[in-house]
Amino acid sequence: MKLQILGSGAGLPSKNRHTQCIILDLVDEINQYYCVDASEGMQHQMLHTNIKPSKIKNLFITHLHGDHIYGLPGFLSSRDHQGGKDIPLMIYGPKGLKNWLDVTLETSRSHISYPLEIIEVAPNQTFNVDNMTIEVISMQHNIECYGYIFTERTEKGELLVSKLRDIGITPGPIYKEIKESNTFLHDGKVYDTNDFLGPEKIGRKVIIHGDTRVITDNDYKEKLDGADIIVHESTYLDGEIEKAHQYHHSELSEVLSNFKSIDFGRLLITHISNRYESDDLILIQERYRDECIFASDFMEITIPRKS
């Protein structure tokens, strides 16, 4: 599992940053990608990666501001001709997304040959997709906006083959049957399967925010606790907290302060304003290098399993 950043900028694209588009790479786990937000030019960004549009089968929209959705109609049309024919796509997002897409696709006479389902989500909604439980959390923005908590299903540990051999069970289809059972019978004795399994593979937890002010609510922070990685916007990096509040965005020092009370792995800062030149960012990154990672276009971050 890893994150791939196709767009790390805020509002307006710049020469170095497209606007927000994040890929959760689950190819090794379930042979597909999840995509969060669909910024303008996302399909062009994909051309610089190994991402296959047909392997994006679930797409999550945080909110309906243009810098998060303007790439969606083009992507949907292109996917049709890039191996996506007949491969279903589910899109999740706020109320109004379906109407906007229906009008856009009809007006442009865009033909979609694959099954397309649009699910308009609600706060605190939880649903299961593939090997993930996904929870929708409300953001504090100037329009309806969400974040998504992706929690991977915990899996049984590896079968301890040597222990099975010790009691006289040789490799074969029986191994699969044993792993899928709670107990098994051998030579007239009942065994507990857990005694023949290694440690559980704890599911990973990835949290991707939409645009938001810093949320200080304890219930919200409890949901973030234990995350392997949190992706949070920081449109403002240099102390302009009042301006961040005014425009319903976040400022870096306030984000860092807010998360001091929770336990998590890494913090990835994205949705960075194009006001910051390369020299500015180098200084800011150096100052906060022990506290967070700053996203850049085409960055990849591996999310290992918990030991």
Write out the binding residues for Zn(2+). 63, 65, 67-68, 141, 211, 271
Distance between CA atoms of residues 289 and 285, nearest Å: 5
Instruction: Provide the annotated binding site.
Output: 63, 65, 67-68, 141, 211, 271
- Catalytic residue list contains 67: yes
Catalytically annotated residue among 37, 67, 228, 297:
67
* CB distance 56 to 79 below 8 Å: yes
Distance between CA atoms of residues 5 and 162, nearest Å: 42
Catalytic residues: 67
